[in-house]
Amino acid sequence: MLRVGMLTSGGDCQALNATMRGIVKGLQNIYGDLEIYGFIDGYKGLIYGKYKKLKPEDFSGLLSKGGTILGTSRMPFKEIDLPLPDGTEKIPSMKETYKKLKLDVLCVLGGNGSLKTANRLYEEGLNVVGLPKTIDNDIWGTDMTFGFQSAIDVATHAIDCIYTTAESHSRIFVVEIMGHKVGWITLYAGIAGGADVILLPEMPYDIKKVYKAVEKRMKDKGFAIVCVAEGAMTKEIAKLPKKDKKAVLAEKAQKYPSVAYEVADLMKEKFDSDIRVAIPGHTQRGGAPDAYDRLLTSRFGAKAAELIKAKDFGKLVVLKDNVVDAIPLAETAGKLKYVDLDNQAIAEAKTLGICFGD
Ligand code: F6P
């Protein structure tokens, strides 16, 4: 019999339930008998000992169900050693819950910050296995995180819908795609949706180059689509020292609800055409996982079960060159996987005439 704890932490995404289902199916086949403790709302549940006791049957039918049956919340790693407002110490409480429930292992489904906490718990002596969750695909050490492909599908569909209405009305549309620090979703959905301009956080833009691309597109086709990642910024701002940059961005946040409105304003300075903003927002994290994510998380779940069987803890399940593998949590903790500027997809997009404003 195995006593397994599970939690989902950070922003949700489409295949969290599918991942848990994969882990449970794998473990059930290996161990037969399981006691499953699903902690409510991420690390909070582990801290306060709030959990659902689940049976393997509870994971049936979850392959295609979005969201997370456990709930989730954010708990910044930089505050991990600070007590909660009620004085509760986080790490000692989590260790206590783990010990009280006599868990054999804790599976953490999370993004960068959550995996840092998972690594810390491993260093504190708990048996931990991590699974790479995030629509942003920014976890270092894995080619793919679960949620990413589903988010690309949603964002691409949003651009498709904008495309037809932009064409009908001869408008310029600024479509804002999720990603504050990294632009993977914007890059891939932008290409898949046929955007004319793609602006990424990793590639600060020159507005004059964006104008030129939009001008050409308006002349050729009469409508244009600019895809902008939440964290995109101009070259001038990117060049500023950290403190000044923070101040300028804070000022902009006062003026604009988000970056797409700022880019739309810049467009208004140059073009007489109608300009509109479209923001798919959290729809990119919602709904059912696509087939790719269902396959990926089934494979990830099986790997997690194998790691647990081998008592190979402190590891993160990853995909490398289409092989499912595992790397030490310590190796990935604290590193982000940015869009590399020599990425082949960027070069290809440029060949197709897509402007990055660089
Ligand atoms: O990390 C996933 C993500 O969806 C980002 O792409 C986005 O910037 C952020 O979370 C939004 O966070 P929240 O759910 O707190 O609004």
pLDDT in tens, 263-306: 999 999 999 999 999 999 999 999 999 999 999 999 999 999 99
Catalytic residue list contains 136? yes
Please give the pLDDT value at position 66. Answer: 98
Specify the pairing of strand 224-229 against strand 172-177: parallel
Other CB atoms closer than 10 Å to residue 319's CB: what's the count?
A: 19
The pTM assigned to this predicted structure is: 0.97
Which atom of ligand 1 has the smallest separation from the CA of 10? Answer: 1
| Average pLDDT for 94-117 | 98
Q: How many residues does the chain have?
A: 358
Please give the pLDDT value at position 174. Answer: 98
| Average pLDDT for 193-201 | 98
- The CB of 11 under 6 Å from ligand 1? The reply is yes
Contact 226, 197 (CB under 8 A): yes
Q: Where does the chain have alpha helices with state H?
A: 16-31, 43-48, 90-100, 112-123, 148-169, 184-193, 207-220, 235-239, 242-255, 259-270, 291-309, 329-332, 344-351
- The CB of 151 under 6 Å from ligand 1? The reply is no
Residue of minimum CA distance from atom 10 in ligand 1: 11
DSSP 8-class letter at 169: H
For residue range 237-250, list pLDDT tens digits in order: 999 999 999 999 99
* Count of helices and strands (H, E) across the chain: 13, 11
- The CB of 12 under 6 Å from ligand 1? The reply is no
| Average pLDDT for 296-325 | 98
- The CB of 180 under 6 Å from ligand 1? The reply is yes
For residue range 23-64, list pLDDT tens digits in order: 999 999 999 999 999 999 999 999 999 999 999 999 999 999
